[in-house]
Structure 1
Amino acid sequence: MSAAAPEGQLSGSRSKAVYALLLGLGVLDAAGYSLIAPVLPTLADRTGAGATVMGMLVATFPLGMVAGFAVGGFAVQRSALGRVILGGLLLIAVGCLGFVFGSDLAVFAVARLVMGVGSGCLWLGVTFATLAAWPGQEYLCMSRVFAAYSAGGLLGPLLGAIQGVRGPFLAYLFLILLAGVPVLALRLPARAGAFTSDRRAMRSRGFWAASAGIAFAVLALGTLEGVLPLHFATRLSQSQIGVLYAATSVLVAVAAALAARLRPRRALLASTVFVVVGFTAAGAGTSVPVWIGALAVAGVGIGMANTGSVGVLLDAVPPRRIVTAMVLWSQIGILGYLVAPVLGGPVADSHGYAAVAVIVAVTALAVPLALGRRNPR
């Protein structure tokens, strides 16, 4: 990937090093999302909590991210991007300590909330550093950033496959602290001062179509990580769930990268079919082979939806006026990660896991409706 990295405002070896760092930070940030998935059954066993309570625990992370996006959006226009990224890493590290030393659900919930705030800041730091460094190639670069975030879904479950609760978060804490070293050593683009806010962008059809797309993609991810692990735990161990999710993330990453070859609208529209089919089979299935095939299909759809939605956003909003639109788009998207476990947990408890796919299917309907009319721009 580095050989094809764009050269924009940076050049030579520094360009490649910065690009590799940003992609690596994306992998590490996304690992914090999926880290919790294999650990959920263990947490449920230790606390005696069901799918509803576990869903609420998972939801504290995206709730924190909503706040983190607001903080990060303010910071990227007023502070060095390296500081924004370091602040995000520090908050994630503090949250990890809650799982390492905590022992009850209240502590875990607060810790997960703090991790979410840090993740929101880190996402915007990585995004605007990418946009600032390689102007004119935003869609290509952001498709690779999304591929890196999807690859983080591979690292997270592998860390989560470590037995127990403390072990996975202790390993993640080590990696977070390690990541701070190159952030300090490499000179990132100073700040995103060239980017401005334009609230008029949020009145465009393209912005709301992109928002519907990212909300759908992230709701699917939240359902996958925040609800279905308890279904899979009926036949799989914590380590096996981690491996299953890691394999799925490979397909998400590949699909996210390859989707850049398609027109954003087409990629986004096609993603709804893959996701709905995959989740329907996963929820209704009761055997491991069915789950493997179902998650493979769903993973391809999630990757396509991620890339397609950011492409629709970049088509609708000029990158140099994208700050407010990017913050709100990110907040709308992560609300999907919040809604998925909050709704999916009670639905699973009351009607079974097959019914959880209905939530994903209903959300999918919003995507073609939003894409029905092209942005006038």
Structure 2
Amino acid sequence: MSAQAVSVGRLSGARSGVVYALLLGLGVLDAAGYSLIAPVLPVLAERTEASATVMGMLVATFPLGMVAGFALGGAAVQRGTPARVTLAGLLLIAAGSLGFVLGTDLAVYALARLVMGLGSGCLWLGITFTTLASWPGQEYLCMSRVFAAYSVGGLLGPLLGAIQGVQGPFTAYLILALVAMVPVLMLRLPAHAGVFTTDRRAVRTRGFWAASVGIAFAVLALGTLEGVLPLHFATKLAQSQIGVLYAATSVPVAVAAALAARLRPGRALLVSTVLVTAGFAVAGASSAVPVWIGALAVAGTGIGLANTGAIGVLLEAVPAQRIVTAMVWWSQIGILGYLIAPLLGGPVADAYGYTAVAGVVAVTAAVAVWALARRGKRA
């Protein structure tokens, strides 16, 4: 722990722990919004008579909104207002959830999911920069726990999605988003992140691009898991059962994300490429529920390692004090994986079956390994 980190801890005292707990809780809530859609997807497909390709496009509206949310949130953070970004993110998430509660057709659902993605992008940057500003010198450890919290959100989301129908899951999520605004307003998160500056030179380094490909791989894997495979699992499982399966999968994701901080980031990311690709290949090829459970446990472990490993590679490549531009770009590149996964995975599944979907993941894994081998020194 650095002297600066010790100083922050002494100044914050008990409030530091409360703020950290709130940030982790917000991470759980944010991630629940990602995975909430998975158990609901077969019901939406049946209600709208849409194909896997169309459902993939619906899922893709969320990461598309996130890309815009990262840009807006990054601009706000540079003006020193991560706390406001956090609150704005919650408001947008609530508004998008309301669209699913009141909506009845595919166009309304797509717009609502886009708004939820916009809010999620803002919320992610609010959580991240508040964490980096509050615990300097402990960035990798603290962010590994943030990713673990996001993985726990992967448990909450499917449990909410297991509520029958479309309105039920999103009503529950809307209530949680509104409740979360109360401690954000009362606790008054740190309002400034003045220790951070922009440095466009950082995004030209090999280390930055290795980290970016790594997070794109991790998020593409998540997008495949949540935006494509539920339609495969629906051949044997009901909505509530898919929710339980995905909730169970989030456990190894969370554990791996937390434990990955004990490994060198590059090593964690390399191991993840093998686990994710193998897990998805087995899940797509099988029609047996017990095999799905084991395969998703393996893939989930890989996703957790990839998330933490990718942020670790980024922090190795770019000093935290100059990370604003790099963090925004890294986040945007990463979420493109969530956009690409359903857009490619849906048509591939329709044309060649769910075993072939693992091929999309494998290609990204190979690119990540190549980028890691070529990464250079810190910016």
The whole-number CA distance in structure 1 between the counterparts of 2:186 and 2:83 is: 10
Deviation at 1:13, TM superposition (A): 1.0
Summarize deviations over 1:207-247 as a string: whole Å, max 9, x none. Answer: 00000100000000000000000000000000000000000
How far did residue 373 of structure 1 move?
A: 2.7
**Correspondence for 1:151:** 152
For residues 76-119 of structure 1, the C-alpha deviation after alignment (integer angstroms, 9 at most, x for no partner) is 12153221111000000000011000000000000000000000
Shift in Å, 1:48: 0.6
Quote the Cα distance in structure 1 between the aligned partners of 2:355 and 2:176. Answer: 36
| Within-5 A mapping of 1:287-326 | 287-326=288-327
Distance in 2 separating the partners of 1:32 and 1:79: 26
**d(CA) in 2 for partners of 1:374 and 1:64?**
30
Which amino acid is 1:283 matched to? Answer: G
Partners in 2 of 1:101 and 1:7 — Cα distance? 49
Corresponding letter in the other structure for 1:330? S
Using the alignment, how far apart are the partners of 2:267 and 2:358 within structure 1?
A: 23
Q: Does residue 95 of the first structure (1) align with residue 96 of the second (2)? A: yes
Give the direction of change, closer, same or farther, for the CA distance of 1:319–1:312 in structure 2 (3 Å limit).
same
The letter for the 2-side match of 1:364 is: A
Please state whether the residue corresponding to 2:376 is helix, strand or coil.
Answer: coil
1:229-271 Cα offsets, whole Å, 9 max, x none, are 0000000000000000000001100000000000000000010
Describe the SS at the equivalent of 1:371: helix
Conserved 8 A contact 1:8-1:133: no
**What's the % identity of the aligned pairs?**
78
Distance 2:76 2:294 in 1: 42
Q: Distance in 2 between matches of 1:82 and 1:63?
A: 23
Q: Which amino acid aligns with 2:155?
A: L
Matching residue's letter, 1:361: A
Mapped partners of 2:87, 2:64: distance in 1? 21
**Matched residue of 2:175: which SS?**
helix
Within 1, Cα distance between the matches of 2:352 and 2:172? 36
- Report the AA paired with residue 332 of structure 2: Q
1:180 is the counterpart of 2:200: no
The residue identity in structure 1 corresponding to 2:35 is S
TM-score with structure 1 setting the length? 0.97
Which residue number corresponds to residue 260 of structure 2? 259
Per-residue deviation, 1:193: 1.7
1:310 to partner: Cα distance: 0.2
3-state SS, counterpart of residue 152 of structure 1:
helix
How far apart in 1 are the matches of 2:80 and 2:39? Answer: 36
SS of 1:97's equivalent in the other structure is helix
Q: Is the 8 A contact 2:82 2:125 kept in 1?
A: no
Question: What is the distance in 1 between the residues matched to 2:61 and 2:243?
Answer: 21
Post-superposition offset of 1:194? 1.5
Q: List aligned pairs for 1:161-310, cutoff 5 A.
A: 161-310=162-311
Q: Which amino acid aligns with 1:76?
A: V
Alignment partner, residue 8 of structure 2: 9
Amino acid at match of 2:108: V
Equivalent residue number for residue 130 of structure 1: 131
C-alpha distance in structure 1 between counterparts of 2:342 and 2:195, whole Å: 38
Q: What corresponds to 2:79 in structure 1?
A: 78
| TM superposition shift of 1:187 | 2.6
Structure 2: distance between partners of 1:337 and 1:143 = 20
Alignment deviations for residues 26-83 of structure 1 (CA, whole Å, 9 cap, x no partner): 0000000000000000001111101000000000000000000000000112153221
Query: What SS does structure 2 have at the residue aligned with 1:235?
Result: coil
- For residue 128 of structure 1, what is the amino acid of its counterpart? F
User: Unaligned 5+ residue runs, structure 2?
Assistant: none
Q: Secondary structure at the match of 1:162?
A: coil
Residue identity matched to 1:335: L
Q: Secondary structure at the match of 1:372?
A: helix
Partners of 2:366 and 2:303 in 1: how far apart? 15
1:376 corresponds to which residue? 377
C-alpha distance in 2 between matches for 1:97 and 1:151 = 23
Is contact 1:77–1:191 with CA below 8 Å preserved after alignment? no
Do the aligned residues in 1 keep the contact of 2:223 with 2:342 (CA within 8 Å)? yes
> Structure 1, residues 11-37: CA drift from partner, whole Å, max 9, x if none?
321011000000000000000000000
Q: Choose 348-357 or 56-65, whichever is displaced more.
A: 348-357
Say which SS state the counterpart of residue 127 (structure 2) adopts. Answer: helix
Gaps of 5+ in 1: 1-5
CA drift at 1:374: 3.9
1:341, CA displacement in angstroms? 0.1
Whichever residue aligns with residue 311 of structure 2, its letter is V
In 2, Cα distance between equivalents of 1:145 and 1:318: 19
Q: Which residue of 1 aligns with 2:117?
A: 116
| CA contact 2:84–2:191 (8 Å) conserved in 1 | no
Q: What's the counterpart of residue 358 of structure 1? A: 359
TM-score norm. by structure 2 comes to 0.97
Which residue type is aligned with residue 275 of structure 2? F
Partner SS, residue 104 of structure 2: coil
Aligned equivalent of 2:47: 46
Moved beyond 6 Å, runs of 4+: none
Query: May I ask how many residue pairs the two structures share in their alignment?
Result: 372
CA distance in 2: counterparts of 1:335 and 1:192, whole angstroms? 26
Q: Distance in 2 between matches of 1:376 and 1:152?
A: 34
1:340 alignment counterpart: 341
Aligned to 1:3: none
